[in-house]
């Protein structure tokens, strides 16, 4: 990490040679990014320097070729001004073609090699273009998918936001109701304490409570149930006089009446049998 920092700082000093290096955060992420940028920039500078050197060399070669051709034309007694417009135009076109193809001379071999390189480069460019088109199509599909996912997520987010707002409203309502019920509970507790103190002041006892009264009512119901058969038995003795002797006389009369009725019933039964 220290080597990277030194490398990056040296590169920044080179870049900002006319001013101070701006402050930056020293951490692994920042240093990795700056180190990558510095490596790429220095690599491009080296490539640019090589290209510049090549151009300078070709300029020198072109100048030498120009001097040679001028010497040849001077030797044969022909100057550029003596050329016809057509010949001058052809020479200019040949020169521009050589410059465009980046060749050292205007020989047939140089032109053929340059055209071959250009054709190979064109094939490579066409393949790269097709690959780029394919990547663009894939990126377009990924972009469409990402847009659809974003729309779906936005829809879900909107629904969730709506639900959150509704729940917040419900929670606020529950909160208010809870506060109201708590206040009512405290109020009722105070009233209950006040009423309890008032009842105690009036001599209230636990035996007069609701549960005690329910227990008493249950016991009364049981006693009433036990008294019912006794009352029924008492009704059977209701017609008897209170005196024992009179009661015995009453019973004897009832017994004789019963015997007489039995005799009458028996005679009627015998009469029925005789008639049959």
Return the residue matching tokens 């005799």: 263
Q: Which stretches of the chain are DSSP H helices?
A: 2-15, 28-76, 85-101, 108-201, 210-236, 244-275
| Residue 113 CB contacts under 8 Å (≥ 6 apart), including other chains | 103
Tokens encoding 141: 């599909």
What three-state secondary structure class fits 233? helix
Tokens encoding 188: 């009722």
**Residue-by-residue pLDDT tens, the chain, 276 positions:** 677 777 777 777 777 776 677 777 777 777 788 778 888 888 888 888 888 888 888 788 777 877 777 776 666 566 666 666 776 777 777 777 777 777 766 667 777 777 777 777 777 777 788 888 888 888 888 888 888 888 888 899 989 988 999 999 999 999 999 999 999 999 989 888 888 888 777 776 666 667 777 887 788 788 777 777 766 766 666 666 666 677 677 777 777 887 777 777 777 666 655 555
Q: Where are the domains of the chain?
A: 1-79
Tokens encoding 11: 């590169």
> Global pTM?
0.30
């Amino acid at each position: 990490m220290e080597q990277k920092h030194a490398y990056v700082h040296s590169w920044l000093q080179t870049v900002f040679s006319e001013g101070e290096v701006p402050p930056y955060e020293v951490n692994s992420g920042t240093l990795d990014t700056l180190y990558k940028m510095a490596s790429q920039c220095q690599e491009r500078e080296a490539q640019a320097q090589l290209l510049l050197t090549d151009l300078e060399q070709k300029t020198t070669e072109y100048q030498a070729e120009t001097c040679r051709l001028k010497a040849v034309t001077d030797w044969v007694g022909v100057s550029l001004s003596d050329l016809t417009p057509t010949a001058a135009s052809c020479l200019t076109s040949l020169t521009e073609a050589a410059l465009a193809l980046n060749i050292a001379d205007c020989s047939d071999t140089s032109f053929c090699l340059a055209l071959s390189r250009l054709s190979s480069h064109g094939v490579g460019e066409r393949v790269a273009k097709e690959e780029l088109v394919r990547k663009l199509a894939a990126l377009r599909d990924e972009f469409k998918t990402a847009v659809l996912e974003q729309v779906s997520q936005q829809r879900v987010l909107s629904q969730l936001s709506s639900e959150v707002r509704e729940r917040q409203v419900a929670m606020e309502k529950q909160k208010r109701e809870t506060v109201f019920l708590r206040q009512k509970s405290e109020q009722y507790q105070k009233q209950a304490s006040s009423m309890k103190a008032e009842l105690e002041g009036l001599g209230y006892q636990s035996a007069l409570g609701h549960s005690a009264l329910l227990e008493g009512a249950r016991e009364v119901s049981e006693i009433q149930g036990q008294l019912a058969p006794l009352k029924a038995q008492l009704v059977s003795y209701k017609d008897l006089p209170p005196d024992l002797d009179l009661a015995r006389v009453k019973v004897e009369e009832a017994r004789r009446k019963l015997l007489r009725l039995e005799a009458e019933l028996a005679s009627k039964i015998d009469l029925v049998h005789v008639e049959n």
